[in-house]
């Protein structure tokens, strides 16, 4: 069947970039999705990830699309299948923070809807579509062990009242992972929920000083920021089948952030 193929949403930067590069190092061909990739820019963005990934000897297919646009989902999947013929691992990574951090009591519907559409509604229905492809491919009898990974967040369990819509979206995404794990287990399709903690990305750059201070004060057991490669290595372990008896597992990547302490 050729190389295994990973379809990664939000692959142009941050955690998505870290996942793409790690899977490339493990020999996976990659279909990477971003909203507005620029083929003329190979220094930043999706085409920079393509350039670096292909140094590992894999094929990287750049895909343009908005995960919140449900009408575009089939076209995105069709382009990946036209190139590779199958998808072995779906990594639901695309996500956004609120445009502005405001108190829960000041959150406006426009911000809530935007975050929900990208972080929850889009991945829910995109996974539905990709899962149907996986089920059909399993039915052909091919040597094929598909897996689905949701990148939710420690914020699915830890409340931040100045970005409550983000927390609610990630809590919903975590339950989405649980539901798909139950629904797809009869087909041998494993589903996982990864919950990154404080990860150094563009999304967290605005609060760098705050978390530098909190980490130094003991917020995490491992006294450093997480990096996208930490998440990428975990996805690679799942893709390689090292946790295949753990479908439905919730895996925190947070340096011990949520360990209860006295």
145, HSE (Cβ side, Cα atoms, 13 Å): 10
175-188: average pLDDT: 98
179-185: average pLDDT: 98
Asked if 119 contacts 166 with a C-beta cutoff of 8 angstroms, the reply is yes
Residues 218-235 have pLDDT tens digits of 999 999 999 999 999 999
Residue whose C-alpha is closest to residue 16's, from 231, 236, 238, 242: 231
Whether residue 202 has pLDDT greater than 90: no
Whether residue 123 has pLDDT greater than 60: yes
The CATH number, out of the four listed (3.30.420.40, 3.40.50.620, 3.40.50.720, 3.40.1160.10), of the domain defined by the range 5-253 = 3.40.50.720
What is the pLDDT, as a whole number, of residue 205? 86
Listed by start position, the domains of the chain span: 5-253
Q: Which of 124, 166, 187, 242 is catalytic?
A: 166
What is the pLDDT, as a whole number, of residue 206? 84
* Alpha carbon 59 to its chain's center: 20
Whether residue 191 has pLDDT greater than 90: yes
Confidence of residue 1 (pLDDT cuts 50, 70, 90): low
Q: Is 166 a catalytic residue?
A: yes
7-29: average pLDDT: 98
Residues 54-113 have pLDDT tens digits of 999 999 999 999 999 999 999 999 999 999 999 999 999 999 999 999 999 999 999 999
């Amino acid at each position: 069947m050729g190389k295994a193929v990973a379809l990664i949403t939000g692959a142009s930067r941050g955690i998505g970039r870290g996942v793409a590069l790690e899977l490339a190092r493990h020999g996976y061909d990659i279909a990477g999705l971003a909203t507005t990739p620029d083929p003329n820019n190979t220094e930043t963005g999706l085409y920079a990830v393509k350039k670096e990934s292909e140094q590992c000897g894999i094929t990287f297919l750049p895909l343009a699309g908005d995960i919140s646009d449900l009408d575009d989902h089939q076209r995105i999947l069709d382009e990946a299948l036209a190139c590779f013929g199958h998808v072995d691992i779906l990594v639901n990574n695309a996500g956004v923070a609120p445009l502005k951090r405001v108190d829960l009591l000041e959150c406006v519907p426009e911000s809530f809807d935007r975050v929900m559409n990208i972080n929850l509604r889009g991945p829910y229905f995109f996974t539905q579509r990709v899962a149907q492809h996986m089920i059909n491919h399993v039915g052909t009898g091919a040597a094929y062990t598909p897996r689905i990974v949701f990148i939710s967040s420690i914020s699915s369990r830890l409340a931040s009242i100045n970005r409550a819509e983000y927390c609610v979206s990630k809590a919903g995404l975590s339950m989405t992972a649980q539901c798909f794990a139950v629904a797809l287990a009869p087909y041998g399709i494993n589903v996982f929920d990864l919950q990154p903690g404080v990860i150094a990305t563009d999304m967290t750059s605005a609060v760098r000083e705050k978390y530098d201070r909190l980490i130094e004060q003991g917020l995490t057991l491992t006294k450093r920021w997480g990096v996208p490669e930490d998440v990428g290595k975990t996805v690679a372990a799942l893709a390689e089948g090292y946790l295949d008896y753990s479908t439905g597992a919730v895996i925190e990547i947070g340096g011990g952030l949520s360990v209860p302490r006295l």
